[in-house]
Amino acid sequence: MTTWSPGMSFKALLADAPMAYIRAHLGEQLCALLDLIEGGTAGDDRLRAVAPIAIDAERLVADAAERTALIALVPKPKQAELTQRLGSLGDEQEPLDYLQSLKWTADERRELLEFFGFTIDRVPSLPPAFKQEAGPEYGLFPHQRQAAARVKELLYDGSRRTVLHLPTGVGKTRTGMSLICDHLRQHEPTVVVWLAHGQELLEQAAVEFERAWTKVGDRPVPVLRVWGNASADLADMTDGLVVLGLEKAVSAAKSDPQFLATLAARSTLTVFDEAHQIIAPTFQRVVDELTIRHDASLLGLTATPGRTWADISKDEELSDYFSRQKVMLEIEGYTNPVAALIDQGYLAKPLMRTVASEAGMHLSARDQQLLARSFDIPAAMMAELARDEQWNLKIVQTITELLQQQHRRILVFAASVDHCRLIAAVLSAAGFDAEFVTGESSPRHRSQVISRFKGSGRRPMVLCNFGVLTTGFDAPAASAAVIARPTKSLVLYSQMVGRVIRGPKAGGTDTCEIVTVVNPELPGFGDVAEAFTNWEDVWETA
């Protein structure tokens, strides 16, 4: 099989493209933002510097008309090289004619992207099963041990269900894994099921269990990863951990009506990560089937034991599902454990502030009514905000100021996929090291970017994201977060803040800075300690 090197980089292609093409594909919004930043009119060099990041090559390649225009920009020698990759010419055929005549199958589109230097994931690899022998120690901090001890009292008596409520950054996954290891040692042979949503959370759980069991296990056990394209075959699974994606559980149950019943017959403990999601009807049916045995226990893990900020009926429904049994940190001398953990160095001291942009977006009376009725900011409203030049200017200025304050790793939560790309492009054009990841990013690209962000490189780095790093992401070196997406969800806000709040005793920083860029027209939050205790009233027993 021939191994090809990139024919020409996408950056090199755009470097010679007509400025009319560049401006048209950057769009008026981005060009106007660059003009604002420049304090005049952004020059052609600045626009060309932004173009390779801001222009989405995958979209151009996927669209027939855009693909035709793109290929026409390729120099003739490179057109001939691309033709060699894709097939052979007729005697009288020109390379461009051949390329324009192709049907452009999925494989041919991938080949074109690789020609432009992009790394494409061709075949998703199936998660492997994994076995590890036992080893020494898997320690918990004192507050984690105390919480784990109270959880055990509730898991094996009465309704046999409870929620472990720990702030983000305090190690709820590690504490949960310690409880799972105890359960596996005491109930041999048995299966424990870990339920979660999203590849990052699932893989994080599998890796953390392997780390824990290597240190405190007493026998070899398998870890069965069941999400994405992985097989849902339970044939040999009678002991160990099944890490099961929620969507996979629903689809597997549809294709095999006995899947959940088989798993329930072999398991005695189900752990639901991000437990505030459990009352969604499809997920609740999965849990109901898995915990049908009289000796089955259910443990929920969450930093936000409520579904909403203001809808108390939904929060009470969640509380009732767990029999109103919740274990929260209790630290002597403190009414709020978050304050204690900050004082003791387990959490970074958060410096929280908001900055407001000039009012570029104005809500009509109808918009205000829609906003009041919605669980979160409506998508159309979010898209309009992402096009607001003044708001985007304030975001870029805020990030620049944080970089000038010597923050090495800054995490940015954007309002949409396009907004994420726009902010990263503007920062890159200004000479900063900025990357972006979204739900549309390939697994390989996402992994490479996140690995570099977590690394020890001395150059400051900004990582913009949309929809992928609110859970299951741990980067202790990150010392600042910019919340550049409004939300009415206290759950989502707490998750975003929690990405940068690890303290020095947990491998993080002494302080962290959290800046929420607000539009005066839209709601927001501002205190992580108050967020932790927001739902306590709905968990109180009568």
| pLDDT digits 0-9 by tens, 47-87 | 888 888 888 888 898 898 999 999 899 998 888 888 888 87
Instruction: Round the CA-based radius of gyration of the chain to a whole number and report it.
Output: 26
**Spatial contact of 47 and 69, defined as CB atoms under 8 Å apart:** no
- Percent of the chain beyond pLDDT 70? 79
State the DSSP code for 97: H
Map out the domains of the chain with their CATH numbers.
10-115 (no CATH), 130-328 (3.40.50.300), 345-539 (3.40.50.300)
- Count how many residues are written for the chain: 542
pLDDT of residue 517: 80
Which pair of tokens denotes residue 412?
Answer: 């940015």
Facing residues of 195 across strands? 244, 272
- Describe the strand order of the beta sheet including 409-413 as a list of residue ranges: 349-356, 511-518, 480-483, 409-413, 461-466, 433-438
Left (φ > 0), alpha (ψ -120 to 50) or beta: where does 199 sit? alpha
Does residue 133 surpass a pLDDT of 50? no
Going by their DSSP bridges, the two strands 511-518 and 480-483 should be labelled as parallel
Taking the C-alpha atoms of residue 176 and residue 184, their distance in angstroms, rounded to an integer, is 12
Facing residues of 494 across strands? none
Does residue 523 surpass a pLDDT of 60? no
Question: Element (H or E) spanning 244, and its range?
Answer: strand 240-245
Close Cβ partners of 234 (under 8 Å, ≥ 6 residues apart): 224, 242, 259, 262, 263, 266
pLDDT of residue 450: 84
496: closest CA among 512, 509, 510?
512
pLDDT of residue 213: 94
**Spatial contact of 519 and 359, defined as CB atoms under 8 Å apart:** yes
Give per-residue pLDDT as tens, 262-281: 999 999 999 998 888 888 88
Residue 253 exposure: Cα atoms within 13 Å on the Cβ side: 19
Which pair of tokens denotes residue 135?
Answer: 């080893």
Whether a cis peptide bond, with omega within 30° of 0, leads into 75 is no
Taking the C-alpha atoms of residue 273 and residue 194, their distance in angstroms, rounded to an integer, is 7
3-class DSSP state for residue 411?
Answer: strand
pLDDT of residue 532: 46
Give per-residue pLDDT as tens, 369-422: 554 544 455 566 666 666 777 778 888 888 999 999 888 888 888 888 888 888
Does residue 139 surpass a pLDDT of 70? yes
- Average pLDDT over the chain, rounded to an integer: 80
Give per-residue pLDDT as tens, 13-47: 899 999 999 899 988 888 888 888 877 788 888 88
